[in-house]
């Protein structure tokens, strides 16, 4: 049965299939700078299975067509989103993980990797300076991590009617928060959006005023969400003030550090996201800057028992975990989960402490250099302490910023740069995420020239 690798001998067909696929992928990387970051007219191979299955070579040919139409995160001009090039160790781990096909649902289906996940979450919790009782799990993306955090927070509220509950977060919090509210069966007015200051950070006084106003109407806040790295400009909310307030009112604090959390992993950048440790739960997405292949997001909670209390429903068909620890399928929304932690673990081991620091510091350096090169008499810059930066013409109030952004984005694409076009407070911006280690200062010079000459 040549569809499956032999279980009792080295399988030459599998070996050559794997080897050829690896070479093909390697060539795909090697041709990146000859192509655009994102192909404009991708072609698709046939979709449906044919009568007789295809040979390995035919499969690779189909794959090649798909690869040619794929986005190329390793292109030095690929700066639009939070999708950096993948670490080589992360790619290898992803391949091995597919081969192992273990299931994080239960320890018996992933004996070593379940332990690896627990250990890695513990390591992250320690790096974030969270308490001994902390723990967590890998989740398929930051949106799901945020949803799960809010579900846990709500599960702590007893005997309160759904219509009385509300949450608070900045108006610049990620869309996944609004989505979570809707998925949880709450109405849009149970989400109190708090306005932000000129740096994109939540206004703490507005947060307090809104909270007391809602409380006086008999409403109950079940979570405050602070953002450590907003999606458009990378702003970090005042975490200490928010956590002090949450503590004084006994409120659950979730920090969405999907973007900013990685900066806690190096002593030289940790101060930017100080006080993550004061939260009840944190979302952190190593996929967004550290080169871990998608998806890689962690939800870490200060008390790991809270995950079990919220999500456990009993597991009549699975052996209990050895050592009385919780099974992966009992502490989250997902049942079957792939071994995502493998690529996170191997990627971090490949980078080492110095590699992590290099990725973080060099991203910040590129952001600062780009800021210096932008002609501020022509372009307004919005940024924060992280590696995200967005620009728009200074006269955008009476200027058609949308028209400018579309035309300039197209011009940039002609020159091998891909930026994104967020609409921020009613104005169109072009945003660059400086997390791509292949982007050199010379590339940034060219990018800044095109932007400065677009006015």
Ligand X SMILES: Cc1ncc(COP(=O)(O)O)c(C=O)c1O
82 contacts ligand X (rule: CB under 6 A): yes
Least CB distance from residue 300 to ligand X, whole Å? 14
* CA nearest to 181, candidates 223, 212, 236: 223
User: Which listed residue (127, 256, 330, 340) binds ligand X by CB under 6 A?
Assistant: 256
227 contacts ligand X (rule: CB under 6 A): yes
Least CB distance from residue 295 to ligand X, whole Å? 6
142 contacts ligand X (rule: CB under 6 A): yes
**Between residues 347 and 393, which has the closer beta carbon with respect to ligand X?**
347
Alpha carbon of residue 219 to chain centroid = 32
User: Which listed residue (102, 103, 114, 231) binds ligand X by CB under 6 A?
Assistant: 231
Helix, strand, coil tally for the chain in percent (to 5): 45, 15, 40
Rounded distance between C-alpha atoms, residue 127 and residue 116, angstroms = 16
**Between residues 256 and 306, which has the closer beta carbon with respect to ligand X?**
256
Question: What token pair was written down for 55?
Answer: 């040979």
In the three-class reduction of DSSP (H, G, I as helix; E, B as strand; rest coil), residue 377 is classed as coil
Range 44-63, binding ligand X (CB under 6 A): none
Least CB distance from residue 32 to ligand X, whole Å? 23
Are 316 and 161 contacting, i.e. CB atoms less than 8 angstroms apart? no
Rounded distance between C-alpha atoms, residue 444 and residue 366, angstroms = 8
In the three-class reduction of DSSP (H, G, I as helix; E, B as strand; rest coil), residue 72 is classed as coil
233 contacts ligand X (rule: CB under 6 A): no
69 contacts ligand X (rule: CB under 6 A): no
User: Which listed residue (97, 114, 143, 190) binds ligand X by CB under 6 A?
Assistant: 143
- Contact partners, residue 371, CB within 8 Å, separation at least 6: 381, 383, 389
Stretch that binds ligand X, among 91-99, 116-124, 223-231, 401-409 (CB under 6 A): 223-231
77 contacts ligand X (rule: CB under 6 A): no
340 contacts ligand X (rule: CB under 6 A): no
Sheet with 379-383, strands from edge to edge, namely: 379-383, 388-393, 430-433
**Between residues 259 and 276, which has the closer beta carbon with respect to ligand X?**
259
User: Which listed residue (176, 243, 420, 454) binds ligand X by CB under 6 A?
Assistant: 176
Stretch that binds ligand X, among 53-61, 195-203, 224-232, 421-429 (CB under 6 A): 224-232
Count of residues for the chain?
455
Stretch that binds ligand X, among 30-38, 140-148, 153-161, 195-203 (CB under 6 A): 140-148
CA 267, 176, 146, 424 dihedral sign is: positive
Give the side-chain half-sphere CA count within 13 A for 423: 6
Alpha helices for 374-388 (secondary structure H): none
Interface with ligand X (CB under 6 A): 82, 141-143, 146, 174, 176, 227, 229, 231, 256, 258-259, 285, 297
């Amino acid at each position: 049965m040549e569809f499956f690798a032999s279980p009792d001998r080295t399988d030459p067909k599998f070996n050559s299939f794997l080897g050829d696929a690896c070479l093909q992928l390697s060539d795909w990387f090697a041709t990146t700078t000859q192509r655009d970051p994102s192909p404009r007219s991708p072609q698709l191979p046939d979709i449906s299975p044919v009568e007789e299955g295809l040979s390995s070579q035919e499969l690779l040919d189909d794959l090649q067509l798909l690869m040619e139409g794929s986005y190329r995160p390793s292109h030095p001009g690929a700066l639009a989103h939070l999708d950096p090039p993948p670490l080589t160790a992360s790619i290898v781990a992803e391949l091995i993980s597919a081969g192992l096909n273990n299931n994080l649902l239960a320890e018996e289906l992933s004996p070593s990797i379940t332990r690896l996940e627990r250990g890695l979450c513990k390591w992250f919790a320690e790096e974030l300076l969270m308490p001994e009782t902390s723990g967590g799990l890998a989740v398929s993306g930051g949106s799901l991590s945020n949803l799960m955090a809010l579900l846990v927070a709500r599960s702590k509220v007893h005997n309160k009617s759904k219509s009385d509950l509300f949450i608070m977060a900045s108006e610049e919090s990620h869309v996944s928060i609004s989505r979570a509210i809707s998925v949880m069966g709450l109405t849009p007015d149970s989400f109190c959006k708090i306005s932000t200051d000129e740096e994109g950070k939540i206004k703490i006084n507005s947060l307090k005023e809104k909270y007391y106003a809602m409380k006086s109407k008999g409403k109950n806040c079940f979570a405050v969400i602070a953002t450590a790295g907003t999606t458009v400009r990378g702003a970090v909310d005042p975490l200490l003030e928010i956590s002090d307030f949450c503590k004084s009112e006994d409120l659950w604090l979730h920090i969405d550090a999907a973007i900013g959390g990685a900066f806690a992993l190096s002593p030289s950048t940790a101060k930017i996201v100080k006080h993550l440790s004061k939260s009840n739960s944190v979302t952190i997405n190593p996929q967004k800057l550290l080169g871990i292949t998608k998806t890689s997001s962690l939800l870490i909670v200060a008390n790991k028992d809270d995950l079990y209390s919220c999500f456990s429903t009993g597991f009549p068909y699975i052996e209990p975990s050895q050592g009385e620890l919780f099974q992966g399928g009992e502490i989250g929304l997902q049942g079957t989960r792939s071994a995502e932690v493998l690529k996170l673990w191997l990627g971090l081991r490949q980078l080492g402490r110095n590699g992590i620091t290099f990725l973080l510091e060099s991203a910040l350096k590129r952001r600062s250099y780009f800021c210096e090169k932008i002609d501020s008499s022509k372009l307004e810059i919005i940024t924060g302490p992280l590696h995200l930066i967005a620009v728009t013409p200074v006269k955008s109030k009476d200027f058609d910023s949308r028209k400018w952004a579309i035309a300039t984005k197209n011009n940039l694409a002609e020159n091998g740069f891909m930026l994104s076009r967020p609409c921020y407070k009613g104005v169109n911006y072009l945003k660059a995420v400086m997390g791509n280690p292949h982007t050199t200062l010379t590339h940034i010079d060219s990018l800044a020239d095109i932007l400065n000459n677009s006015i």
